[in-house]
Amino acid sequence: MKKFVITNNPLVKEKLSEYIEINYFDITYLDILKKVRDKVHKGYKLLTHPLSGSLKPNETPYKSIIIGHNNDKLDMESLMIIESSIQTAEKFIKDKNTPNWNEKILKDFQVIDISLIEQLVKEL
């Protein structure tokens, strides 16, 4: 199964590209979820949960999700999880937008995001 990361976290791109293919996009958290949904529709399967971690979707701007190719077969469980995750993210963002964090805090969020997948990526 071909595996890769979809992310908007530049630290993931910088630190993990030697271990796994990284699809980096300079887009919002919500847009990352939608990119993953598009891949699920094309036969990919979620290998990490889209809402992993304790940060709410409107608190952090970064998200990294590992997916794998599922032989062009639609994985209904992945589809249900990503659709539910998008709805949850939209609800949080509607209630309160992500703050305009300073660079130091943004770096901290990058470190938190990479810590959620780093070990798994290195073991794949």
Distance CA 65, CA 33 (A): 8
Q: How many domains does the chain have?
A: 1
Q: What confidence score (pLDDT) does residue 72 get?
A: 78
Q: What is the pLDDT of residues 73-122, one digit of tens each?
A: 899 999 999 999 999 999 999 999 889 999 999 999 999 999 999 988 98
pLDDT of 73 reads 86
Structural domain of residue 52, as residue ranges?
3-123
pLDDT tens-digit readout, 26-75? 999 999 999 999 999 999 999 999 999 888 999 999 999 999 997 878 99
Residue 24's pLDDT is 98
The reported pLDDT for the residue numbered 54 is 86
pTM for the structure as a whole: 0.94
Determine the longest span between alpha carbons in the chain, in angstroms: 42
Neighbouring residues of 81: CB distance < 8 A, sequence distance ≥ 6: 46, 49, 50
How confident is the model at residue 71, as a pLDDT? 80
